Amino acid sequence: MQKKNQSLPASIIASLRQRKNRTGTAPAGADGRAGGTLVASYNVHKCVGVDGRFDPGRIGHVIREIAPDVIALQEADKRFGARHGLLDLARLKEETGLVPVPVASANAAAHGWHGNVVLFRQGLVRDVHQVTLPGLEPRGALVVDIDLESGAALRIVAAHLGLLRRSRSQQARMIIELMRSRDERPTLLLGDLNEWRLGGRSALSALDAAFGKMPVPVPSFPAGLPLLALDRIIANRPEILSAVAVHDTPLARVASDHLPIKAFVDPALAALPVSGPDFVLIPAEAASSGSTAARDKESSLPLPAMPPGNGRERGNRELVRKAGDQLKRAVRRTLRRPDAPSR
């Protein structure tokens, strides 16, 4: 039976009380492989750790600890300008067997779309759709239909929502409209959804139309003392997904300001249909080299327009900064609550 959602203060207080139970280890995905197909989400914070050091190698090691079949990364590219990728994808493939889903991009140096990257181990990519999300910040989502070797046939929506609540509401509604416009398929939404509110005040309430009531979230931010459940894995068919867990290891606590989260998908409940629509199939080997077929397919997809004008973008930076400050204040207020346990 699904637990009732906690209030935000109750959720944070529970996290504080459980902090002494952190064992310093987390089971690698391979240890629980019988549990099904392991999916994960990880905001890598542009490969800058909580110690302020840029170290893509640490991010690769954390991904290797998780050993996922599919993982969605956020902030894997530079945010502005040329948006160069920040990971060594060739080394990551060698160490983990994971390859990126190919995207159409004017910049060959970018890993993903607006910093979103989907990596997978074994399977066929049936379809890729890149979406520019509305809002004041440059945000996007990747929608990937993939048939995994385990037998799971999934649609992955990998997204990074904005810092402003109004933007998050718009972005959630756009994800719902996108899902309604496509054929039905077991769907997972993975990513940093940047929403620390719970219940009716949450900007994610719009997602209920496709995903039902949000499951109990797990705190993943900040990595050193996770209090807020900014990162989520949710399914439009909740029965296919196990409980979501935080990958909490000493390395994960320093490699990024977010901890990764992970869950198992039951491949029997998300099995391949007997027949399906004709899509361009992209095997893992082709994906790793940036399939021409994928690029051609992507170039014909209608992509929403970017917010107009660099001047407007500069003018909105102050609003975005204030939203980030609001998140920090939410943590500080709870730490000052009289019923919070002493540190």
- Residue 112 to residue 128: CA distance in whole angstroms: 12
Could you tell me if residue 168 is inside a domain?
Answer: yes
pLDDT at 9 over 70: no
Residue 153 belongs to domain spanning? 22-335
**284 vs 165, which has greater pLDDT?**
165
Over the stretch 109-144, which tens digit does the pLDDT of each residue have?
678 888 999 999 999 999 999 999 998 888 999 999
Distances (CA, A) of 261 to 7, 232, 308: 21, 7, 34
- Pairing status of strand 37-43 against strand 70-74: parallel
Could you tell me if residue 6 is inside a domain?
Answer: no
Q: What is the CATH number of the domain that holds 113?
A: 3.60.10.10
Domain count, the chain: 1
- For residue 115, the 8-state DSSP code is T
The per-residue pLDDT for 5 is 56
State the burial class of residue 17 (Cβ atoms within 10 Å of its Cβ: 0-12, 13-18, 19+). exposed
Could you tell me if residue 13 is inside a domain?
Answer: no
Global pTM reads 0.77
**330 vs 24, which has greater pLDDT?**
330
Could you tell me if residue 10 is inside a domain?
Answer: no
Could you tell me if residue 3 is inside a domain?
Answer: no
Q: Report yes or no: 204 and 172 within 8 Å, Cβ to Cβ.
A: yes
Could you tell me if residue 1 is inside a domain?
Answer: no
Which token pair is 247?
């990958």
3-state helix, strand, coil split of the chain in percent (to 5) is 35, 25, 45
Over the stretch 309-333, which tens digit does the pLDDT of each residue have?
555 455 555 655 666 666 666 666 6
pLDDT band, residue 289 (cuts 50/70/90): very low
Distances (CA, A) of 120 to 117, 290, 318: 10, 14, 37
The per-residue pLDDT for 198 is 74
- Residue 216 to residue 229: CA distance in whole angstroms: 9
Q: At what angle do helices 310-335 and 8-18 cross, to 10 degrees?
A: 60
Over the stretch 57-89, which tens digit does the pLDDT of each residue have?
999 999 999 999 999 999 998 766 666 788 999
Could you tell me if residue 114 is inside a domain?
Answer: yes
Smallest CA-to-CA distance from 178 within 138, 212, 131 is with: 131
Could you tell me if residue 123 is inside a domain?
Answer: yes
pLDDT at 275 over 80: no
